[in-house]
Structure 1
Amino acid sequence: MRADYADFDFIIQPGWNNSAPEHWQSHWQQLLGARRVDNHEWNTPRLEDWLDGLDRAVEASRRPVVVVAHSLGCVTVAHYARRHPHKLAGALLVAPADVERASAPAALQPFAPLPAEALPFPARIVASDTDPFCRPLRSARIASLWQAPLTWLVDGGHINVASGHHQWEEGLAQLDALLDAVSAGRDGARRQA
């Protein structure tokens, strides 16, 4: 089954310091006609501000919402799911940041602890075995806690511009798989109704 992008509203949830114009999230924003979360402060993030920004973007949507998050944005989505378990249709979570690691910058520590509950919507995690901000064992643990399928990118760094991920067209296969899972879940719910 191939999901139709037109069935969804896409929201780009960047991580700390936002995503630059050459970042794959910026390319995908254009490709998908997505809305980017508008946070007041990208450099000194506040969890409440980021949750409010995501909620404003969700509330402005008309169709089922799929969030495409990166790094600290993934943690934001998990916190958001705790508060609003029924507002998102799905989430693609790329290179989640380990905000609990000993070397986590002070700016990220207010996002700890990481939510430890299963996400209440279909999600997929893409992680790298060489991500300096989330070691492989931690990525696997996060995927287990959030009960989301995990795909590994070999030697992918933080899956950002610094690691050579600009348009990252290969990543769209992960988005397609997520949309198929979201669509299958919606079809199953309709058949049960």
Structure 2
Amino acid sequence: MNDKDKANPSLDGAEVPTVLLLPGWLNSDAAHWQSRWEVLHGHRRVDQDDWLWPRRGDWMARLDEVLLDSPNGARLVAHSLGCQLVAAWAAHSRHTARVAAALLVAPPDTEREDMPPNLFNWRPIVRERLPFASLVVASTDDPYCALPRAERMAADWGAAIIEIGSRGHISGESGLGDWPEGMALLRGLTGEAG
């Protein structure tokens, strides 16, 4: 099976949307479940020009570009600032119909006073309802977002929310490995078998 087949498995002969991985600030390292999914499942990472000083508009334009290059549309799998990217992008893009669903893992509270200046241009948080199925995955001890704030974002976005206990920022440091539970959440969100 080649990478394209892994990224777009056939269900009854029909191509399914590509999985686009949207890392957060500073990108996802090799231990991160997103990086592991990229290797294991052939999912496509959306690379950004500037991971250190992320500009919201630039990141939105890049997502539009990659999405238009995905002939079968996409399922978005966002981590951290990638979640804020999905919300901001969906509020402005004319291509939201190309998205089947979004898994939004550990959205950060970019409006907190202790956020680094690199993320100030991600304020205010875009809180419009998402026009596609979405699920927020939150931890009870995320250092970048208190659980009630994650719950508020999910409600504003019209997303379901699942709390997975004490898992920090649900990143490479959370001990998730390949995170098969997260893959099951994505499959459940998009109605995939397996």
User: Which TM-score tier does this pair reach, normalised by the shorter chain?
Assistant: 0.7 to 0.9
Q: Deviations over 1:107-128 (max 9, x none)?
A: 1110111111110100111000
In the aligned structure 1, how far is the partner of 2:177 from the partner of 2:38?
A: 12
The total of aligned residue pairs comes to: 180
Measured against aligned partners, the alpha-carbon deviations of 1:49-98 in whole angstroms (never above 9, x if no partner) come to 21122112101101121110000000001001011232322110000011
Contact 2:21–2:78 (8 Å) recurs in 1: yes
Q: 1:151 aligns with which of 162, 170, 192?
A: 162
The residue type paired with residue 10 of structure 1 is V
1:175-186 equivalences in 2 (<5 Å): 175-180=186-191
Identity of aligned residues (%): 41
Ranges in structure 2 where 5+ consecutive residues have no aligned partner: 1-9
CA distance in 2, matches of 1:127, 1:164: 15
Query: Superposed, which structure 2 residues align to 1:35-46 within 5 Å?
Result: 35-46=44-55
Name the aligned partner's letter for residue 73 of structure 2.
P
Q: How does 1:96-115 map to 2 (within 5 A)?
A: 96-115=107-126
Confirm whether residue 73 of structure 1 aligns to residue 103 of structure 2. Answer: no
How do residues 1-193 of structure 1 correspond to structure 2 at under 5 angstroms? 4=11, 6-84=15-93, 85-180=96-191
Provide the secondary structure at the position in 1 that maps to 2:152: helix
| More off after superposition, 138-147 vs 6-15 | 6-15
Q: Which moved more, 1:163-172 or 1:108-117?
A: 163-172
Q: Which residue in the other structure is 2:4 paired with?
A: none
Q: Which residue of 2 aligns with 1:190?
A: none
Q: CA deviation at 1:169?
A: 1.4
SS of residue paired to 1:89:
strand
Q: Which amino acid aligns with 2:19?
A: F
Structure with higher helix content: 1
State the TM-score, normalized to the length of structure 1: 0.87
Q: Contact conserved, 1:35 with 1:57, CA < 8 A, in 2?
A: no
Q: TM-score, normalised by structure 2?
A: 0.87
Give the distance between the partners of 2:140 and 2:91, measured in 1 at CA. Answer: 28
Q: What is the rounded CA distance, in whole Å, between the counterparts of 1:32 and 1:78 in structure 2?
A: 25
**Amino acid corresponding to residue 120 of structure 1 in structure 2:** P
**CA–CA separation in structure 1 for the residues paired with 2:70 and 2:85:** 18
> Match of 2:97, SS?
coil
SS state of the match for residue 135, structure 2?
A: strand
